[in-house]
Amino acid sequence: MEKIRIRITGILLLLAGAIYGQNAKQVLDKTASVVSNKGGVEASFTISSKQYGNTNGTIAIKGRKFHADTNEATVWFDGKTQWTYVKQNDEVNVNNPTAADLQAINPYNFIYMYKQGYAFSMSTSGNSYVVTLKGKDKGVSEMVITIHKQTYVPTQIRMLQNKQWTTIKVSNFRTAKLSDSIFRFNPKSYPNAEVIDLR
């Protein structure tokens, strides 16, 4: 009788774990849907990291494209090519970034990363879901995403890269109608900048 109870308890725990994992994925799916608004979204952010330093700025996103602006740099990404204008040096670096590179710059890139190679777990904290993703990705091995329960807007993303945590706090999230042109570097706007192609 005791063995049967242990087996039933074990099965119930496995089922509960499966349901819990499914709920975490559902929350991420709804969050991805909000962030992937057809016309685009805009937000403000602050980054705190030993690896990347501390900064704040704004970001515009449309699908896989994004445009981020901080006091130190402006970044454009059209889905393939990334241009980074470094204000202090008046130069533009051009490259084709990896998923890990994009995650370090675009806090919302997790909406594509979580679908492959990550295990989910979830808890709640006040009016937020806290979803933890763990995987074998060499660039980002763990992410902790805080998501508002009613709006499914992510308010904080913590990433573990190279054994160091980066915290990105997001505010002023809003939908927008964004032109594709804002995601590509326009050399006419920076006539004196040196362009360095790293591809």
Output the pLDDT for position 1: 47
Question: Counting beta carbons within 10 angstroms of the beta carbon of residue 193, is it exposed (0 to 12), middle (13 to 18) or buried (19 or more)?
Answer: middle
Distance set, CA 29 to CA 26, 32, 54, 193 (Å): 5, 5, 29, 40
Is the pLDDT score of 109 beyond 90?
no
Contacts of 9 (CB under 8 A, 6+ apart): none
Give the β-pairing of 91-95 and 82-86. antiparallel
For the CA atoms of 95, 166, 57, 107, what is the dihedral angle to 10 degrees? 60
The rounded percent of the chain whose pLDDT value lies above 70 is 83
Tokens (6 digits) for 5: 């109870």
pLDDT tens by residue, 167-191: 989 999 999 999 999 999 999 999 9
Q: What is the 3-state secondary structure (H, E, C) of the chain?
A: CHHHHHHHHHHHHHHHHHHHHHHHHHHHHHHHHHHCCCCCEEEEEEEEECCCEEEEEEEEEECCEEEEEECCEEEEECCCCEEEEECCCCEEEEECCCHHHHHHHCCCCHHHHCCCCEEEEEEEECCEEEEEEEECCCCCCEEEEEEECCCCCEEEEEEEECCEEEEEEEEEEEECCCCHHHHCCCHHHCCCCEEEECC
Output the pLDDT for position 138: 60
More confident residue, 13 or 151: 151
Is the pLDDT score of 73 beyond 80?
yes
Q: With beta carbons less than 8 A apart as the criterion, state whether 57 and 44 touch.
A: yes
Predicted TM-score of the model (pTM)? 0.78
Output the pLDDT for position 105: 67
Output the pLDDT for position 155: 94
